[in-house]
Amino acid sequence: MGQPYLRLAAAALILAAFVLGTAAFLVWFERKLLGRMQVRPGPNRVGPGGLLQPVADILKLTVKEDILPEHADRPLFRLAPLMAFVPAFAAFVVLPFGPGLVSADLNIGLLWILAVSTVSVLALIAAGWASNSKYALLGGMRAAAQMISYEVPLVLSLIGVVLAAGSLRLGRIVAAQAHLWFAVPQVLGFIVYLIAATAESNRSPFDLPEGESELVAGFHTEYSGVRFAFFFLAEYSYVFLAAAIATLAFLGGWSGPFLPPVVWFLVKTYAVIFFIIWLRATLPRIRIDQLLSFGWKVLLPLSLVNIFLVGLFRFI
Amino acid sequence: MPSLGDFLAVGAGLFVLGLFGALMKRTAVAVLMGIELMLNAANLNLVAFAAFSGRISGQIFALFVIALAAAEVAVGLAILLSLFRSRATVRMDDIDLLKG
Amino acid sequence: MPEAFGILTLATLGGALGVVLATDVVHSAYFLVLAFLGVAGYYFLLGGEFVGAVQILIYAGAVAVLFLFAVMLTRRRADPVWGRSPARWLGVGGAAALLAWLLLTHLERHPWPTKLPPPAPHNTALIGKALFRPFVVPFEVVSVLLLAALVGALLLARKEGGAS
Amino acid sequence: MMPDLGWERGSDDLPRAHLPPERLPSGVAALRQAGFDYLICLSGVDRGEARQVVYHLRDTARHREVALYVDVPSRREEVPSLTDQFRAADWPEREVYDLFGVRFAGHPDLRRILLPETFLGHPLRKDYREDDPEVAPEGEPELPAAPDEMWINVGPQHPSTHGVFRMLLKLSGETVEGCRPCIGYLHRGFEKLAERRDYVQYQPYPDRWDYLAAMNNEHAYVGAVERLMQLEVPRRAEYLRVLATELNRVASHLLWLGTFLLDLGAMSPFLYTFREREMIMELFNELSGARMTYNYLRIGGAAHDLTPELARQIRAFLPYFHRRLAEYEALISDNEIFLARVRGVGLLPPDEALNRGASGPLLRASGVDWDLRRDRPYGAYPELSFQVATASTWDLHGRYLVRLAEMRESCRLVEQVLDGLPEGPHRAKVPVRVRPPAGDTYFAVESPRGELGVFLIGDGTDHAWRLKIRAPSFMNLMSLEPMLQGHLAADAIAILGSIDILLGEVDR
């Protein structure tokens, strides 16, 4: 009886370590990359090439004072960072890093990731609401409006993939791309997915929930210390997740010549992450009304067109 | 191993709690939440029956209910919002007339 | 399995209780999410992982957000959550207790099956086939209804004279 | 035609008229009829026994300027407000009330502006005693909030208010419905200081008015003193001044460009523009020995001559900078998101801009073709050729394009200076104690932010009787409110950024 639970706990621990490690590495990766794009060195003191900078940051954050704003909604305020992080963790459970390299090979893997990651918006709303701050509240409301609007094209853009692969299981989706990456026939869906996924993970130019030029830091304005670190790590976990799904659903997953599958998977995922960071270094922030109308009036029709085209080709 | 009856018992508990909330709460949003709880109770029963009978139709029904519930919530909250705009209240006792 | 059932029951009924008892509507909404997630867990337990995922996606992801949105847009600090008359307390409470008693005692008497049939290996595929063969008419009706609800909700929530 | 208000010639050749307070509104109305559409400067003066309010007006079409002197009656210190004729009078009248205690009848919102509302006394009055208690026990000013209104407090500690500026925004959803700007957090009393330092001692202070365009500020100050003492400045010095101020304009616009894009949420341009700004700072370091507070322009000329080595460096910088400018344009100008954010946002129609006293790029982007360097020429500008950039869109995009074009023109001017730098001394012979004759003068330069004027009153001693700074940021900020109406919170930040305010200069 104890055996499976022990294994479960061990798997969870390993996964948690991996998620945290990935998020921390991404922080370094982004800072280094942004530095290079902005003619400055980026972190370069702690560890080789500043590699240990995120570790130092997290250490710093853990010893910093944890501030609870006056008249805050205490239970919700405390819960929100966890709510942000747990769904990311749950989504990683079904993420395959190579053939068979997966914690739980759910036959609805893709749907599971989508479903679970939508829950994270509740955390942003909770943070915005519980902080008893107008900036945070506006950020939380923005997050809600943005997530709802971009979830629709996000899901629809992936429906084309599911349609073509005939399965929701991520392994099968990868296998279906043995000859041709879905990014080629479904280029429309790929573009819609990339944009919607960037918006879903609140990344520039869609980082309105924390748009610092007007909302200071949006929903996490009032957060400090460890709780802030959790939001931070959650954001980067979602970036990795978004890139990983792009890899699995559109870029042929782990398939590739010569190198071992895991390496291919990581290479492609990091290429997508590079693109997302590149966007941040290049683009100004979009405005909330433009964001919403872009989501509903451009991305949604485009994703529908993509589904229609995929269906048409399947039919012929 | 829980039996079908255990699932149904949970469904019953959920339903009763939802009913109680829907009848006792004063804010319209909370009333809607109670109704959602009742719908979930029904869904739980449907899926449990489907699983124990080995047939799929219960799950299909549950899917339909979920879709309908989503529609219901959207319309319900939209009504609430427009009521709030015209009356500036969401208290159930103040909005019991069909005609304003 | 029994442990999982126990945890889920705790989450579901605890969440539902929280929805009913919380004095803050926002807290109610988050308790509601907990109940939704518990129910989704039951679905997974019962081998209906597709319904479970949809439950999370629609209920926890969308419906709960809508609730929160509505609460934030219509909230007044002065609005009491409780404050019903004692008679109503007694009436509704009594009726609910009676209903619970009736349901539970009846449930106990019946010999329910305890053995789950092995879950179908292609549960999701079965659902898809069922939706588009025997249930295609209700499916289409639901889709029309959803569209109608979408348009209706948009119209209702729209501010007079301006897009919003 | 000029209405007859009893004109006389002042020491600075400006037609001026003395009016009793009751004739001020009709006199100004007649001037408006005659084409005077711009209230340049509104200054309070304490003449010792009585207070005086001085109005400088301009006819932008015919390039005429006049000054009106209104003696404040000593029984009841009140003059009619001009706010119903010139919205530009709003804040300056509040400032005069704040610092001199003169009331303005008919002003819609006569509160203190630079000093806290709890301040006691009026510090620019000659009878103000510094050792009197300064503030009443602290009281928090009331928020103008009804229970159902959402007011959000932006600043003075906010990432996008460009310093200690504070504005209260009334929001409905995210739409701005009202705005209440609050300033004065950085008020350091530079006008009062001028009365306590002699003219030479005061030279380093203008660097601190607007520390991002210190050269231009120095120019305004030394220009005013030179005009008061009717000092001839060597041509070489005038050329050096153009060199310094135009380079400073580029540096200032670069900083604006970076921070404006930062306000729009683009982070990289900020780092790029700072790279080029840094090079200009290095050039200034060579030229003056300081990176920020140069103290380079002196009464009678410039502190140091241009070395051939430095001239070579500046010459090398120009083509490099043009390449970089092209790079910025490639990154920003055609970016769809950028265009969507700036087009049609923050409209300021030309007549409104003039009426509210806007100047500089803000005014030119509203389609008003006005530049002091060309239209009220000073220094070496008549001998140099340059284009005045304008835009007809009245929006943020126009302000961006105007400033970009101005950077190019400034480079052209610098090039002309390097090519045609006259030989001769870089500084006139100036007595150790500068003692200009008694008189009034108004001297203005085109600073990167707009018309930076100095209204200087000398009394024949070695320090100023009154020095009034006509700060472009202060005046331009009055255009903020109408531009915000109906826009979203994110736009509000961008609109504020587009004005290019500098709090050191707003608050002085």
In this complex, how many residue pairs, one in chain A and one in chain C, have their CB atoms less than 8 Å apart? Answer: 68
**Which carries the bigger pLDDT value, residue C38 or residue A72?**
C38
From the list B14, B52, B54, which residue is nearest C16 (CB)?
B14
pTM above 0.90, yes or no: no
From the list A108, A125, A151, which residue is nearest C50 (CB)?
A108
pLDDT by residue (tens digit) across C49-89? 888 888 888 888 888 888 888 887 776 554 555 556 777 77
Q: Looking at the structure, tell me whether residues C10 and C76 fall in a common domain.
A: yes
Mean pLDDT over C149-155 rounds to: 83
Judged by a CB distance cut-off of 8 A, whether residue A7 touches chain D is no
CATH class given for the domain over B4-91:
mainly alpha
Judged by a CB distance cut-off of 8 A, whether residue D276 touches chain A is no
pLDDT by residue (tens digit) across A221-242? 778 788 888 888 888 888 888 9
pLDDT by residue (tens digit) across A277-295? 898 888 888 888 888 888 8
Under a CB-based contact definition with an 8 Å cutoff, are residues A168 and A111 in contact?
Answer: yes
* Residue whose C-alpha is closest to residue A115's, from A168, A61, A175, A65: A168
Question: What does the pLDDT read at residue B90?
Answer: 61
Verify A-C touch: 3 or more CB pairs within 8 A.
yes
From the list C20, C66, C110, which residue is nearest B21 (CB)?
C20
Q: Would residue C94 count as lying in a domain?
A: no
Superfamily of domain D1-141, CATH level 4: NADH:ubiquinone oxidoreductase Nqo5 subunit (3.30.460.80)
From the list D152, D337, D494, which residue is nearest A286 (CB)?
D337
Look at chain C and report how many structural domains it folds into: 2
Domain coordinates in residue numbering, chain B: 4-91
> Which DSSP helix (H) or strand (E) runs through A62?
helix A53-63
Question: In 10 A of CB C124, how many CB atoms?
Answer: 20
What residues of chain C lie within 8 A of the CB of A79, using their CB?
30
What residues of chain D lie within 8 A of the CB of A290, using their CB?
340-341
Cis peptide, bond prior to residue D156, ω within 30 of zero = yes
Of the pLDDT bands very low, low, confident and very high (cuts 50, 70, 90), residue A108 is confident
Under a CB-based contact definition with an 8 Å cutoff, are residues A156 and A301 in contact?
Answer: no
pLDDT by residue (tens digit) across C10-63? 888 888 888 888 878 888 888 999 999 999 888 888 888 888 888 888 888 888
Judged by a CB distance cut-off of 8 A, whether residue C63 touches chain A is no
Mutation site, C32, C84, C136, interface B, largest B CB count within 10 A: C32
Those of residues 212-251 in A touching chain D at CB distance below 8 A are 212-216
Range of the domain at C132: 120-164
From the list D331, D337, D492, which residue is nearest A205 (CB)?
D337
What residues of chain C lie within 8 A of the CB of A118, using their CB?
56-57, 60-62
- Look up the ipTM and state it: 0.78
**Which carries the bigger pLDDT value, residue B97 or residue D408?**
D408
Question: What does the pLDDT read at residue D332?
Answer: 87
Q: Would residue C105 count as lying in a domain?
A: no
Interface partners of chain B (CB pairs < 8 Å, 3 or more) are C
Question: What does the pLDDT read at residue D16?
Answer: 87
Mean pLDDT over B83-94 rounds to: 67
Interior/surface letters A176-190, b for 16+ CB within 10 angstroms, e for the rest: bbeeebbbebbebbb
Domain coordinates in residue numbering, chain D: 1-141, 150-182, 190-295+308-370+377-507
Can you name the CATH fold of D190-295+308-370+377-507? Answer: Cytochrome-c3 Hydrogenase; chain B (1.10.645)
List residues in chain A touching C: CB distance below 8 A: 73, 75-76, 79, 106-108, 111-112, 114-116, 118-119, 121-122, 125-126, 129, 137, 141, 144, 147-148, 151, 168
Question: What does the pLDDT read at residue C161?
Answer: 44
d(CA D76, CA D78): 6
* Residue whose C-alpha is closest to residue D492's, from C115, A138, A36, A158: A138
pLDDT by residue (tens digit) across B24-78? 777 778 888 888 898 899 888 888 888 888 778 888 888 888 888 888 888 888 8
Domains D1-141 and D190-295+308-370+377-507 share a fold: no
Q: Would residue C97 count as lying in a domain?
A: no
User: Please, what are the averages of pLDDT over each run of 10 residues along chain D (508 residues)?
Assistant: 76 82 87 88 87 89 87 86 88 90 87 84 85 70 63 79 82 81 87 88 89 90 89 88 92 91 86 90 89 88 87 91 89 86 87 89 90 87 88 89 91 89 85 84 90 89 89 90 84 87 85
Question: A38–D267: do the CB atoms touch at under 8 Å?
Answer: yes
How far are the Cα atoms of A304, A306, A308, C44, D227 from residue A312, in angstroms, in the given order? Answer: 12, 10, 6, 34, 81
pLDDT by residue (tens digit) across A139-148? 888 888 888 8
Question: C65–A107: do the CB atoms touch at under 8 Å?
Answer: no
Give the phi and the psi of residue D467 in degrees, each rounded to 5.
-130, 115
Interface partners of chain C (CB pairs < 8 Å, 3 or more) are A, B
Question: What does the pLDDT read at residue D62?
Answer: 86
Q: What is the CATH number of the domain that holds C6?
A: 1.20.120.1200
Which residues are paired to D52 by β-bridges?
D45, D71
Query: Which pair of structure tokens corresponds to residue D30?
Result: 């007649």
Question: A144–C61: do the CB atoms touch at under 8 Å?
Answer: no
**Strands across the sheet with D166-172, in order?**
D150-154, D166-172, D175-182
Q: Looking at the structure, tell me whether residues C7 and C50 fall in a common domain.
A: yes
Q: Looking at the structure, tell me whether residues C77 and C9 fall in a common domain.
A: yes
d(CA D445, CA D223): 9
Judged by a CB distance cut-off of 8 A, whether residue D267 touches chain A is yes
Q: Could you say which of C35, C69, C86 is where a domain stops?
A: C86
Question: What does the pLDDT read at residue D144?
Answer: 57
Half-sphere exposure of residue B16: CA atoms within 13 angstroms, side-chain side: 19
What residues of chain B lie within 8 A of the CB of C104, using their CB?
9, 12
How far is the alpha carbon of B87 from chain C, nearest alpha carbon, in Å?
11
Q: Is the pLDDT of residue A70 over 50?
A: yes
* Residue whose C-alpha is closest to residue A199's, from A128, A117, A83: A117
pLDDT by residue (tens digit) across A303-315? 888 888 888 887 7
Q: Is the pLDDT of residue A1 over 50?
A: no
Q: Would residue C131 count as lying in a domain?
A: yes
